[in-house]
Structure 1
Amino acid sequence: MRHLANVDLATLLAGIQWWQLIVAITVMVVGWILGRLTRRAVLALFARAPGLPRAAAYPTARIAEYLVVALGIGIALAILGANIQPLLAVVIIVAVVAVLVLRGTADNFTAGVLIQSENPVRIGDEIQVDTPGGAVVGTVTELTARAVMLLAADGRTVVVPNAKLLGDSVVNHTLHGLRRSEIQFRLPRVDGEAIDDLLSRVAEAAAAVPGVQAAPAPQTLANTVLQGKVTGVVQFWHEPTRGVVVRSDVVRALATAFADRGVEATVMSVQK
């Protein structure tokens, strides 16, 4: 301590040029300004992504600000000729350990920010994802910093990590606003009956079902005409989340419509 007290300040600054001092001060000021801007950017990012935890916004913004300011101070010290290699070594080691320990969390956090910024899925969307048990269809109930929460039709809750959702293929049933379904049918053809008339009756019966959209209108396609029977499909549009109910109603409506005419029809739902 006595030795340090006797050190002349002029001796410490003897090897430093005036321009180095000015540049070092400028770098520290710029680092301080960039640190403030970084803090505001992080807070704005948390505000833009409602699913991110609000409690983590301010600490994360402060840590980011301090890191930028510390980087500016380190650069300023390097300009002044200080040996910062030991400090850099410690920082690099700490950064590597943090990356290895928090790799999964960081990946999911970053993916969560992208999901909530680009909105490939939103709360209320019905999506299909691949799980170890097979494909699962569910409604998005929550978007968090770590995962997307789905509620399946059978009541199961499915937790999909953000990184997996962003990296795998996801089928969004809701984003378009409407979804198309198909019903297969096989009907006997009366002698002399035009195929177009038969297909038109099928389309009319499907269009009368509640839940079937008027536009685009239902259309029928003939697949085979063999031995007096016509096999085809009727395609119709409906709200994405009501597919099961509407398909069931169309099957019943077609079966009833042709049963009332004394026609024995085979009607089967096709789910895609």
Structure 2
Amino acid sequence: MPEWVQSLDIDGWTVLGVLVALVATWIIARLSRAGVAKLVDRVPGLSDGIKVLAVRLTGYGVWLIGIGVALALLGASVQPVLAVALILAVIAVLVLRGISDNFASGVVLQARHPVDVGDEITSGGVTGVVIELNSRAVVLQTADGRIVHLPNSSVLGSTLVNNSRHGSQRGEVEVRIGRSELSHDELRELVETATEGAAGVHRKERVIVRSVLRAPDRGVVLVQFWHHPLHGVAVRAAVVDALAEALADRGVPAVVTSDPPPPPLAGPTGF
């Protein structure tokens, strides 16, 4: 038999003391779990998963202490118990290190509220709408329907852009205009009017037309406008169509794009 078992000093009073310790542990564990449950309910933003985990960890901790007290009453040697506890703690730290990092980061994210369900965010090079916040990850749905799980620790430790917090988002398209009989002011007014009339463009923020290039035979302007954060793709497409139609109706040769290519090394002679 193991030495720690042989060292046990068991009699009637010892058994009674162990029973009392275990019953007291059971009562304290229940009271502690109930107290922690009420406490975490008062913390805003915590998910149900995090609340359940906090309650369970509290119960496990109380039971570990109670079992240790019971073994001490039996006269068991403390050193083997401490050695086993230390080994288990080291294993738990190594195995659960990533989980604990994500759990702690999840608590911070849900307590500080940098993002909420329904927000469109950009993090780690991924842009999508937040559909779930849990103890492990921020779950996004991208514009093309993919589901992406971003670990909480990576979201908290990297640049996080919340596209929805302001309530609107700015979009832009580039217009390359060829030779035209219209003056620069007339072209600017035409572009502004067409953009303002596109579906989804906000009316409370004015459309901005910035000149990027002006030459005798061509010009490039950047059109900036505001829209709902979740409707960027559709609104940019509507603006491209509206500008292309308006310029074509006035006989202005132009190329309109919402995804301009990088500039060439040498300036082209056309647009």
Asked if Structure 1 and Structure 2 have the same fold, meaning a TM-score greater than 0.5 normalized by the shorter chain, the answer is: yes
Aligned-residue offset at 1:222: 0.7
Tell which deviates more after alignment, 166-175 or 234-243: 166-175
* 87-96 vs 152-161, greater mean Cα deviation: 87-96
For these two proteins, the number of residue pairs brought into alignment is 232
**8 Å contact from structure 2 (residues 180, 253) kept in 1:** no
Contact preservation (8 Å) 1:199, 1:221 = no
CA deviation after TM superposition for structure 1 residue 208, in Å: 1.3
2:142 aligned partner: 152
- Report the equivalent of 2:108: 114
* Residue 39 (structure 2) pairs with residue 44 (structure 1): yes
Match of 2:255 in 1: 266
Find the aligned partners of 2:182 and 2:244 in 1 and give their Cα distance.
22
Q: Among 160, 177, 185, which residue is 2:175 paired with?
A: 185
State the distance in 2 between where 1:103 and 1:211 align: 46
SS at match of 1:138: strand
Residues 16-63 of structure 1 show CA distances to partners (whole Å, capped at 9, x for unaligned) of xxxxxxxxxxxxxxxxx9xx7897356533663025255434323333
Paired letter, 2:115: V
1:81-139 alpha-carbon deviations (Å, 9 max, x no partner)? xx977766554444333212221211111111111111222111122233xxxx33221
Residue type of the partner of 2:91? V
Which letter does structure 2 place at the counterpart of 1:147? A
RMSD: 3.7
- Does 2:228 match 1:239? yes
Which residue identity does 1:104 align to in structure 2?
G
Q: In structure 2, what residue type is equivalent to 1:202?
A: V
Deviates more, 1:207-216 or 1:93-102: 93-102
Partner amino acid, structure 2, of 1:106: S
Look up the equivalent residue of 1:162 and give its one-letter code.
N
Query: Displacement, 1:250?
Result: 0.4
Question: How many angstroms apart in 1 are the aligned matches of 2:38 and 2:61?
Answer: 10
Kindly tell me: are residues 186 and 101 of structure 1, through their superposed partners in 2, closer, same or farther at Cα, counting changes over 3 Å?
closer
Contact 1:38 1:64 in 2 (8 A): no
- Structure-1 separation of matches of 2:49 and 2:107: 8
Which letter maps to 2:157? G
Question: Structure 1: which 5+ runs fail to align?
Answer: 6-32, 78-82
1:237, CA displacement in angstroms? 0.6
Name the structure 1 match of 2:237: 248
The CA deviation string for residues 120-165 of structure 1, in whole angstroms up to 9 with x for no partner, is: 22111122233xxxx3322111111112222222222212222222
Residue 52 of structure 1 aligns to a residue whose secondary structure is: helix
Code of the aligned partner of 1:249: A
Distance 1:44 1:220, change over 3 A: same
Q: Tell me if 1:58 matches 2:48.
A: no
Identify if the C-alpha distance between structure 1 residues 192 and 157 changes in structure 2 by more than 3 Å, giving closer, same or farther: closer
Q: Partners in 2 of 1:259 and 1:116 — Cα distance?
A: 51
Contact persistence 2:32–2:59 (CA under 8 A) = no
Query: How many angstroms apart in 2 are the aligned matches of 1:50 and 1:86?
Result: 39
| CA pair 42-107 structure 1, distance change in 2 beyond 3 A | farther
State the alpha-carbon separation in 2 of the partners of residues 51 and 197 from structure 1: 59
Give me the whole-angstrom Cα distance separating, in 1, the residues matched to 2:182 and 2:238. 30
Structure 2: tracts of 5 or more residues without a match:
1-8, 11-27, 261-271
Going from structure 1 to structure 2, the CA distance change for 1:60 and 1:229 (only over 3 Å counts) comes to same
Q: What's the secondary structure of 2:92's corresponding residue? A: helix
| Identity level (%) | 39
Q: Which residue in the other structure is 2:157 paired with?
A: 167
Deviations 1:208-252 (A, max 9, x none): 112111222111011111123221111001011100000000010
Alpha-carbon deviations, 1:176-195, whole Å to 9, x = none?
221111111122454582x2
Name the amino acid aligned to 2:39.
A
> What is the CA-CA distance between 1:64 and the residue it aligns to?
5.0
